[in-house]
Amino acid sequence: MINVTIDGIKTSVPEGSTILKAAESIGVKIPTLCNHPDQAVKGNCRVCVCEVEGSRLLSAACVMPVWEGMAVKTRTPKVVEARKTILELILSNHPQDCLNCIRNQNCELQTLAEEYFIRDNPFSQKTRGMAKDYSTPALFRDPDKCILCRRCVEACSVVQSVNALGLDQRGHHAMVVPTMGWDLIDSPCVMCGQCIHACPVGAIGEVEEIDRLLAAIADPDTVVVTQIAPAVRVAIGEEVGLATGDMPMDVFAAGLRQIGFDYVLHTNFTADLTILEEGNELLKRLQEGGTLPMFTSCSPGWINFCETFYPDLLDNLSTCKSPQQMFGALAKTYWAEKSNIDPAKIYSVSIMPCTAKKYECSRPEMNDSGFRDVDLVLTTREIGRLFRMSGIDFDKLAGSHFDSWMGAYTGAAVIFGASGGVMEAALRTVYEVVTGQTLENVNFEVTRGIQGIKEAEVDLNGTVVKVAIANGLSNARQLMDEVRAGTSPYHFIEIMACPGGCIGGGGQPITKSNAKRVERINQIYVEDEACEIRKSHENPEVKAIYEEFLHEPLGHQSHHLLHTHYTAKNKKVL
């Protein structure tokens, strides 16, 4: 242990601790901007500078390790002047656009500007004058707002191994840009949106489409139908001042009806359906010698990644559409027929934790219903904005039911929202299908948690099935390289593009640390436990759709509506 004195307070901290960590441990808050709890230390914003006794230079608290006897002062006039000046410098090159910014009131720079009462910035206002990049249907970039902290670059490279972002030029002209300075769409970007969570300001965000929803709601001839993805509920509360997991599903549904949705249905329904289709697809591949390991296909960021970086492994991908797109195809066929609604009048909106879903719904092949299967994808954050705009008081709102035919779901669908959930849900069903026995303990703990790569073996009547689970694309890359090299021992691999799975998706409430992701994961399993039915094949509405419409998993209708194909992206450079 190392003895240090911070602002007169003596403490001992482990060797190798930074000033920042040491200060945190005794409740001394040092401001930071480029620092990110789950990333490598950057030390580039210099907002955390402190005085160290005996040193002429100020030290950046986030990087400077403590030494025996070190005396640090974090609040001297010299320190405050330096921090304020640095903030003024950053702000003088940052658009004074807070009121119109997607990160208004949720911006680390804005918070610091408030804390350091920046009033009359002595530096003249001068921004880069860069155009915004709206080239992708999912993400926009506003390079003028970038403060060069490089957290997005690390998210894209280290966490996701996509490497769509890098630096351009140097000095005052330095910028974060997509590959070669191109538009984002031309880079290898997979639209996972992890850069949004990494960004301390509003330099990257989701393409907002709330107005399109409001127009549909305003049109009396349009029937607005919505689906809610499994990961949304645990996080939506964070958008409206509730704790993680604190929004009951029926209250959430009621809130959506208040906004003006005509029918509230559930992606959980097609999550259960996915288990039937995908589980049977796996069994078929195992029995008939199909391409193995089979990869899950629920995560559109992952699909983009596979199509971009592993086009040689597309046959390993399950042909199952994601639950969102299965839902879309069924809403305008099966559900429209059951509900006696003209599918041409249906406006199908999905509420997703995901930015890549915005791209997925726009894929040209996603029109098997005869219409655009899903018309609009809104992220959890966008729905949060709608809720706040609508002034709904969720404490006083009475719950509401979900609408019929595609609104029932099981605990197995709920856990789709967390990494390992699809695997666990599949195992719950596959086990019973193969063994014909009832699974007494449905909890496959080994598949759970935020750990990057998890693996398990399941004995199905003597056949050992090896499975692996990865969340975060760098982890996926490890498994894919094994598959490509022919050394992968697995039969079935679940991959979610985002760390922690969909609960950490690019469209979720801004998530500054993995600790928040863990909190959401825990809530997912609380919800699963609370479900009466926890196996997908026991979902009564799923049983009904097979009886009345699909007839059998992997059947003719399923093939037409629920399965898809993949195409290599052929990006110019990676």
Partner 1 sequence: MSYKGIIARYAEVPGGIIEAFHAVEKEFSFLPEEAIAEAARVFKVPAAEAYGVASFYSMFSTETRGKNIIRLCESAPCHIAGAAEVVAALEKELGIRMGESTNDGLFALEFTECVGQCQATPVITINSKPYLDVTPDIIPNILAEYK
Partner 2 sequence: MAEEMRIVLRNYGKIDPLNIDEYIAAGGYKALEKAKGMNQIDLIEEVKKSNLRGRGGAGFNCGQKWFFANQANADQKYVVCNADEGEPGTYKDRLIMQGDPQSVLEGMAVCAYAIGANKGFIYCRGEYPYVVDILNQAIDQAKAKGVLGDFDIEVRMGAGAYVCGEETALIESIEGHRGEPRFKPPFPGVEGLWGKPTIINNVETFANIPVIVEKGADWYASIGAPSYPGTKVLTLTGDINNKTFFEVPTSTTIKEVVYELGGGVAGGKKFKAVQIGGTSGGFIPESLLDTTISFDAMSAIGATLGSGAVFVMDETRDMVDVVSKITKFFEHESCGKCAPCREGTARMNELVGKIKGGQGSSADITLLKKLGGVMSIACLCGLGQAAPAPVLTTLGHFAADYEDKLV
* Catalytic residue IDs: 278, 281, 298, 318, 357, 360, 365, 502
148 forms part of the interface with partner 2 (CB under 8 A): yes
Site for partner 2, residues 61 to 80, rule: CB under 8 A? 63, 65, 78
Size of the site for partner 1 (CB under 8 A): 18
Q: Which residue has the tokens 């199509």?
A: 307
What, of partner 2, partner 1, none, does residue 43 touch, CB below 5 to 8 Å by kind?
A: partner 2
Secondary structure element (H or E) that encloses residue 46, with its range: none
Least distance CB 20 / partner 2 (angstroms): 13
Distance, CA of 429 to CA of 189 (rounded, Å) = 35
> Is residue 95 near partner 2 by the rule CB under 8 A?
no
Angle between helices 267-288 and 323-330 (to 10 degrees): 110
Q: Which stretch binds partner 2 (CB under 8 A): 41-49, 405-413, 456-464, 535-543?
A: 41-49
Phi, psi of 455 (to 5 degrees): -140, 155
CB within 8 A of 547, min separation 6: which ones? none
Please measure the distance between the N-terminal and C-terminal CA atoms of the chain and give it in whole angstroms.
Answer: 45
* Cα(25)–Cα(339) distance, integer angstroms: 59
Phi, psi of 211, deg, nearest 5: -60, -35
Task: State the Cα torsion 530-535-540-541 to the nearest 10°.
Answer: 100
Residue 312 binds to partner 1 (criterion: CB under 8 A): no
Smallest distance from partner 2 to CB 70, Å? 13
Q: How far is the CB of 189 from partner 1 (least distance, A)?
A: 10
Judged by CB under 8 A, the number of residues near partner 2 is 35
| Residue 37 CB, nearest approach to partner 2 (Å) | 18
Token reading at 136: 């992708």
Q: Of 179-187, 212-220, 258-266, 471-479, which part binds partner 1 (CB under 8 A)?
A: 179-187
Q: Is 526 near partner 1 (CB under 8 A)?
A: no
Q: CB of 62: closest distance to partner 2 in angstroms?
A: 9
| Residue 487 CB neighbour total at 10 angstroms | 8
R_g over Cα of the chain: 25
Binding to partner 1 (CB under 8 A): which residues in 375-404? none
- Choose the binding region for partner 1 from 18-26, 45-53, 175-183, 363-371 (rule: CB under 8 A): 175-183
* Two structure tokens written together for 270: 């097609």
Contact partners, residue 237, CB within 8 Å, separation at least 6: 243, 244, 245, 246, 247, 394
Q: Which of residues 170 and 396 has its CB atom nearest to partner 2 in the complex?
A: 170
With binding defined as CB under 8 A, does residue 560 bind partner 1?
Answer: no
Q: Is 349 in the site for partner 1 (CB under 8 A)?
A: no
Answer for which of 8, 117, 170, 461 binds partner 2 (CB under 8 A) is: 170
Q: Does 147 bind partner 2 (CB under 8 A)?
A: yes
When the beta carbons of 309 and 359 are compared against partner 1, the nearer one is: 309
Quick one: CA torsion of 519, 524, 530, 531, rounded to 10 degrees? Answer: 180
Q: Does 354 bind partner 2 (CB under 8 A)?
A: no
Q: Cβ 84 to partner 2, closest distance in Å?
A: 9
Task: Map the footprint of partner 1 across residues 125-164, applying CB under 8 A.
Answer: 157, 163-164
60 binds, among partner 1, partner 2, none (CB under 5 to 8 A by kind): partner 2
Q: Which stretch binds partner 1 (CB under 8 A): 277-285, 359-367, 436-444, 566-574?
A: 566-574
Q: Cis peptide before 540, with omega less than 30 degrees from 0?
A: no
Residue 498 and residue 194: Cα distance in Å, rounded? 7
Question: Does the protein bind partner 1 through residue 169 (CB under 8 A)?
Answer: yes
Return the bridge partners of 73, or none.
51
Around Cβ 393, how many Cβ atoms within 10 Å?
A: 8
**Contact residue for partner 2 among 44, 106, 161, 367 (CB under 8 A):** 44
- When the beta carbons of 26 and 180 are compared against partner 1, the nearer one is 180
Distances (CA, A) of 60 to 6, 13, 21, 308: 14, 18, 12, 39
Task: Please list every residue from 184 through 213 that binds partner 1, using CB under 8 A.
Answer: 187
CA distance 473 to 302: 7
Give ∠ CA 508-417-391 in degrees, rounded to 5. 40
On the CB side of 439, how many CA atoms lie within 13 Å of its CA? Answer: 26
Q: Is 170 among the residues that bind partner 1 (CB under 8 A)?
A: yes
Q: Which is nearer to partner 1, 9 or 167 (CB)?
A: 167
In the complex, which residues of this chain contact partner 1 (CB under 8 A)?
157, 163-170, 177-181, 187, 572-574
